[in-house]
Structure 1
């Protein structure tokens, strides 16, 4: 099977894009520390020298991969008029389009302190998207903070579980994740103990 960009000359931006995609696959498999540029070169079907024509170091390449995935996710979820549901649907479709990048972004980079800021920034954006909805239904400040922190975690972990299950129906996945999050918000807004008062 021919890999993207293998066996033909690509223009510089196309080659860079193909290298970033190959690096996402290689880093998703092995993580940053265990993956070397030879692994990326093999995945891309190119020489290590070619990688150095585009990136000065493994760190620069990894940063480019994370920035690329971040841009994809922000585009899919970050429209100013998106509701939480639109954002979740965008997240699911973005994960389906780039499953290796999604897993890398949230699983691998979150475990690497020098790169964690990428995932933290996107989680903060997800919190900001959910905040207006949460403020309408949760009036206790501590519970509001709890829900704000929990929503991105539920969304990301649910999408990763969906990817691991083989990506059954993205529309159904988005609806199911929305329902799960809605149930969590309802439970936080009115815990069982408050219902018996």
Structure 2
């Protein structure tokens, strides 16, 4: 995560915009969209509200920029569904550790705000599309396959948030631990008796 520049240092426009987006992620993660004012964001960034308006026309535009930024970070870290790899979970954990406020905001806060939840919904759909081909190799019942495909992204995201909330213990092995949790869930769904 980029730190604020030393006091009095002028920033180039792209650097300032980036710093504002990061400060906004922290402020919005604490209070959500409705409860966070541009004054709150300005205080977090250590700038005036006027400076924010030089980069963003409104609070809505700033919030959208934060969500788009986090989405880009997550997609870069995990790979697009067509290019997902075994390291996608490792990338998800690394992105969350690099930007914990943005991660929480993206999956928790924006999911509770109907006008913004499409960002998280789109990424969850991409995660589901990524998981589906792997799941159908071990789960042949279509209803169970749909269940698992919906559940796996939720387990991954919630496990990462719980890991962040716990202070990021065992960072080096966290992706393997979460992967084991996911594998256990898949195994449980795949092995449940057909009559249940």
**More displaced, 129-138 or 73-82?**
73-82
- Scaled by the length of structure 2, what TM-score is found? 0.94
Is 1:39 aligned to 2:36, yes or no?
no
Alignment counterpart, residue 82 of structure 1, candidates 72, 78, 84 = 84
Matched, 1:116 2:117: yes
Q: CA separation in 2, counterparts of 1:50 and 1:169?
A: 40
Rounded Cα–Cα distance in structure 1 between residues aligned with 2:171 and 2:132: 24
Tell me the residue number matched to 1:189: 190
Post-superposition shift, 1:81?
A: 3.9
Count of matched residue positions in the alignment of Structure 1 and Structure 2: 192
> Is 1:172 the counterpart of 2:173 in the alignment?
yes
Consecutive unaligned residues of structure 2, counting only runs of 5 or more, are: none
Cα distance in structure 2, aligned partners of 1:58 and 1:81:
34
CA distance in 1, matches of 2:9, 2:57: 23
Paired residue secondary structure (1:171) = coil
Are the counterparts in 2 of residues 89 and 171 from structure 1 also a CA contact under 8 Å? no
| Pair 1:4-2:14 in alignment | no
Deviation at 1:169, TM superposition (A): 2.4
For residues 12-33 of structure 1, the C-alpha deviation after alignment (integer angstroms, 9 at most, x for no partner) is 0000000000000000011100
Q: Matched residue of 1:137: which SS? A: coil
Q: Residue 9 of structure 2 aligns to a residue in which SS?
A: coil
The Cα of 1:128 is off from its aligned counterpart by 1.1
Q: Report the counterpart of residue 92 of structure 1 in structure 2.
A: 93
Question: 1:170: how far off?
Answer: 2.4
Equivalent residue, structure 2, for 1:161: 162
1:52 has 2:53 as partner: yes
**Normalised by the size of structure 1, how large is the TM-score?**
0.94
- The superposition leaves residues 144-194 of structure 1 with CA deviations (integer Å, 9 ceiling, x where unpaired) of 000000000000000000000001122311001100000100110111x35
**Native 8 Å contact 1:154 1:181 kept in 2:** yes
Q: Tell me what 1:107 maps to.
A: 108
Paired residues of 1:28 and 1:100 also in contact (CA < 8 A):
yes
The runs of at least 4 aligned residues of structure 1 exceeding 6 Å deviation read none
> Given that residues 23 and 62 in structure 1 are in contact (C-alpha distance below 8 angstroms), is that contact kept between their aligned partners in structure 2?
yes
Unaligned ranges ≥5, structure 1: none
Look up the SS of the partner of 1:7 in the other structure: coil
SS at match of 2:172: helix
Higher helix share: 1
**Which residue is equivalent to 2:67?**
66
